[in-house]
Amino acid sequence: MDDLDRRLINRLQLGVPLVRHPWQALAEELDADAAQLRERVQALLDDGTLTRFGPMFDIERLGGAFTLAALSVPEARFDRVAEQLAAMPAVAHNYRREHTWNMWFVLGCATPEGIAQTIACIEAETGLPVLNLPKEETYHVGLHFPV
């Protein structure tokens, strides 16, 4: 990772300019070429430095719902259950925790009813009970990790 990659990542954490040509605006800010910036973002995604690049939506304002959930997965089945979850469109991501509830994941659905339906589907497919931890209150934290 070079200096331009670092400056690009730091700048993108603050959001993309909401203008007709955002890559050009970023290029002018970073003294770079717009096409080069797009290529660098793709390269950072390809090499795993970045795991995601895209918009963040307030799903509830759009009529949808999300929840944090967890499973207690036997170690011998962990990878298989992770694959099952990863294949479900409603599962945003899943990750391992060192806890009895060792697999945590986020569900995002087009409707609040979709959460219950997806949880029922996960329980049926995995044979494991889902711990559903719906949000009680929203807090906005401006998080930035300088690179």
pLDDT digits (tens, 9 = 90+) for 40-98: 999 999 999 998 888 877 788 888 999 999 999 999 999 999 999 999 999 988 899 99
- What is the reported pTM? 0.66
Which residues 6+ apart lie within 8 Å of 135 measured at CB? 66, 67, 68
Is 80 exceeded by the pLDDT of residue 140?
A: no
Is 90 exceeded by the pLDDT of residue 139?
A: no
Is 80 exceeded by the pLDDT of residue 25?
A: yes
Is 51 within the bounds of a domain?
no
Both 96 and 41 in one domain: the answer is no
What is the extent of the structural domain holding 34? 3-46
Q: Count other C-beta atoms under 10 Å from residue 98's C-beta.
A: 5
Pair of tokens at residue 42: 């793709």
Question: Residue 99 sits in a domain of what CATH number?
Answer: 3.30.70.3460
Burial of 14 (C-beta count, 10 Å sphere; 0-12/13-18/19+): exposed
* Nearest Cα residue to 59 out of 100, 90, 98, 17: 90
How many domains are there within the chain?
Answer: 2
Write the pLDDT tens digit of every residue in 96-131.
999 999 999 999 999 999 999 999 999 999 999 999
